[in-house]
Structure 1
Amino acid sequence: MAPRANWKGFLRLSLVTCPVALYPATSESEKISFNQLNRQTGHRIKYLKVDADTGDEVPNEDIVKGYEFDKGQYIEVTKEDLEEVALDSTRTIEIDEFVDKTDIDPRYLIRPYYLRPDGKAGHDAFAVIRETIREMDKVAIGRVVLTNREHIIALEPLDKGLMGTLLRYPYEVRDPKEYFDEIQEVRVTKDMLDLARHIVDQKAGSFEPDKFEDQYEKALVDLINQKRAGKVIRPTERPKGENVVDLMDALRKSVGREAAPAKEAKPAKKPKKASASQKEMLMPVTGKKSAKEAATKKPTAGARRKSA
């Protein structure tokens, strides 16, 4: 089932307009999350909204937004006040300009969204805008209001739709000089560069996301399985960092180390995706297998996801 749209409105290029819907392109709902519990009772912790001075619980209908302009002094801002400052981008993504993708500094990228026509109308206009961007090999820049904030959005063709990436404003990007000024100037010799390039060549490949597995998520599933099975949790040995005394020697050893596995490398098999039922189980269902079989066979992958 497709997720609910985060935003609905119109996409406009000059006088060409079409209704569109914006959907999140990524999700973290499959990651394991934890609830906070009372260690003494095992009960889940519940947060209450209370008055900071009286300690009394405050119902949602009595909670309003406020801006602290001085210590302990607030200006109340109502929902109606916020609607008064509503911008055109609240309902319309107006394409302001077209830029080269290489012009966009990666530090300004926030998160991707999918943009598609909303309903049966407007597919022709959407296709014209999409193919114009594709033909010009540019990225369209506009603005959109999400969660009561106006964002810059970069639009580019993706299959039959558009991918919109939210961008940061300049004041949100920190100056690198604050972090890099104290880095020492070091002379890197040609021999060092040659060895390092050789290591890079041995590791060269194309980016295929399916080759990567979330090792931490896998370890969490294994940990929970072991705890549910009543097993003793033993800490794993952590890798120790070593001081590099001779950089050239370390580079030479790295070249040899990377060359050895390359000769025996075989195409990696793509991991099978867990079915919906697997994701809901940490251990075999009681009654389907004997306790002895369940103890000897490794539990199936996947874990119940609970929101914190």
Structure 2
Amino acid sequence: MAPRANWKGFLRLSLVTCPVALYPATSESEKVSFNQINRKTGHRIKYSKVDAESGEEVASEDIVKGYKVDTDTYIEVTKDELDDIALESTHTIEIDEFVPRSEIDSRYLIRPYYLVPDGKVGHDAFAVIRETIRSMNKVAIGRIVLTNREHIVALEPLDKGLMGTLLRYPYEVRSEREYFDDIQDVKITKEMLDLAQHIVEKKSADFEPDKFEDHYEAALIDLINKKRSGVTIAAKAPPKTSGNVINLMDALKRSLASSGEAPAAAAAKEAPAPKSKAKKAKKRAEGQREMLLPISGKKAKETEKQAEKQEPKKAERPVRTSARTRKAS
């Protein structure tokens, strides 16, 4: 099922207007999530809204928002009062200006959305706005009202559509000076810099997000599948830590040596190493729904045998399979 639009309205560039719909470009719904349960009964935990002093449960109609002034003092603000000051949604993204993409500080970026024509009309106007932005090689800065608040949005062409990224206001971005002022100024020798640069060159590659692996997510899924199969989970040995202090130059040389190149040979090179063009086969991104699966395949059969010896518990419900699992079996 296609995701539901977060917002519908119009995109306007001067007198050119077209109906558009805004969709979230990212999602975390596929990640493994947990509920809190009662260990004794196995029942899910529910939370009640209670008065912090009396401990009595409070009905929803008696709950209002309050701005904290000090420890025990709040300024009460009602829903009607908030509605009175809420910005009236014009249902229009007004494009105010165009700026170079390189001038947008990454700290101002919040989250991306996809902007597409809404309905059968307006595709021509949408294409005109999209291609105008593309031809200028700039980003359109506009305003949009979401949940009664006005947000700044940066629009840029993406394939046949537009990507809109919500931006932070200046007061939401902390100054780096608060954190960087205490960093010491140190002198880096040319030899250290050369060695570090060779390490970077050895690890240089094209940006391929398909190669990113969420190792913790994979470990969670493996843990859940093993427990569903009745496999006893052995406690993991604590990692070994080394207290040895390694000289920085020695660490750089060892790092370079571990990449398969002698430090002396690396330091003698002047031309940077070419980027590796070898690409691994792209893997389809999978989430909780596709990776929580029944035991199958060579590796899984070994787990099955192990589970049989330990009297596996009966699965409470059918599990989900993925394309990767069917291929492996």
TM-score, scaled relative to structure 2: 0.78
Matched residue, 1:186: 186
Q: Residue 236 and residue 98 in structure 1: after superposition, are their counterparts in 2 closer, same or farther (change >3 A)? A: farther
| Aligned partners of 1:11 and 1:17 also within 8 Å | yes
Matched residue, 1:246: 247
For the residues of structure 2 that align with 1:136 and 1:211, how far apart are their CA atoms?
32
- The aligned runs of 1:223-238 (5 Å cut-off) are 223-228=223-228, 229-238=230-239
Q: Following TM superposition, by how much is the alpha carbon of 1:146 offset from its aligned partner in structure 2, in angstroms?
A: 2.1
Q: Residue 88 and residue 129 in structure 1: after superposition, are their counterparts in 2 closer, same or farther (change >3 A)? A: farther
1:68-102 Cα deviation digits (max 9, x unpaired): 45643333231x43343343655211111100001
| Aligned partners of 1:143 and 1:152 also within 8 Å | yes
- Aligned partner of 1:245: which letter? I
Name whichever of 82-91 and 170-179 sits farther off: 82-91
| Aligned partners of 1:68 and 1:75 also within 8 Å | no
Residue 205 in structure 1 maps to residue 217 in structure 2: no
For the residues of structure 2 that align with 1:181 and 1:273, how far apart are their CA atoms?
41
Q: Following TM superposition, by how much is the alpha carbon of 1:243 offset from its aligned partner in structure 2, in angstroms?
A: 4.8
| Aligned partners of 2:31 and 2:287 also within 8 Å | no
| Aligned partners of 2:38 and 2:45 also within 8 Å | yes
For the residues of structure 2 that align with 1:6 and 1:216, how far apart are their CA atoms?
30
The runs of 4+ residues in structure 1 deviating greater than 6 Å are: 299-302
Corresponding residue SS for 1:271: coil
Q: How many residues align?
A: 291
| Aligned partners of 1:114 and 1:162 also within 8 Å | yes
| Aligned partners of 2:95 and 2:141 also within 8 Å | yes
- The aligned runs of 1:1-308 (5 Å cut-off) are 1-69=1-69, 71-78=72-79, 80-87=80-87, 90-228=90-228, 229-238=230-239, 240=241, 243-259=244-260, 267-271=279-283, 278-281=290-293, 283=295, 294-295=304-305
Corresponding residue SS for 1:21: strand
1:137-174 Cα deviation digits (max 9, x unpaired): 00011111223332211000001110011111111111
Q: Residue 121 and residue 219 in structure 1: after superposition, are their counterparts in 2 closer, same or farther (change >3 A)? A: same
Corresponding residue SS for 1:259: coil
Name whichever of 66-75 and 87-96 sits farther off: 66-75
Corresponding residue SS for 2:259: helix
Corresponding residue SS for 1:171: helix
Q: Residue 8 and residue 170 in structure 1: after superposition, are their counterparts in 2 closer, same or farther (change >3 A)? A: same
Q: Residue 129 and residue 184 in structure 1: after superposition, are their counterparts in 2 closer, same or farther (change >3 A)? A: same
Q: Residue 218 and residue 279 in structure 1: after superposition, are their counterparts in 2 closer, same or farther (change >3 A)? A: closer
Q: Residue 274 and residue 196 in structure 1: after superposition, are their counterparts in 2 closer, same or farther (change >3 A)? A: closer
| Aligned partners of 2:18 and 2:126 also within 8 Å | yes
The share of aligned pairs that are identical, in percent, is: 63
Matched residue, 1:288: none
Structure 2 portions without partners, runs of 5+: 262-272, 308-318, 323-329
Structure 1 portions without partners, runs of 5+: 285-290, 303-308
For the residues of structure 2 that align with 1:179 and 1:293, how far apart are their CA atoms?
49
| Aligned partners of 1:110 and 1:165 also within 8 Å | yes
- Aligned partner of 2:249: which letter? M
For the residues of structure 1 that align with 2:136 and 2:153, how far apart are their CA atoms?
18
| Aligned partners of 1:134 and 1:157 also within 8 Å | yes
- Aligned partner of 1:105: which letter? D
- Aligned partner of 1:142: which letter? G
| Aligned partners of 1:115 and 1:164 also within 8 Å | yes
1:86-127 Cα deviation digits (max 9, x unpaired): 436552111111000011001111111001111122111111
Q: Following TM superposition, by how much is the alpha carbon of 1:295 offset from its aligned partner in structure 2, in angstroms?
A: 2.7
For the residues of structure 1 that align with 2:287 and 2:77, how far apart are their CA atoms?
49
- Aligned partner of 1:51: which letter? D
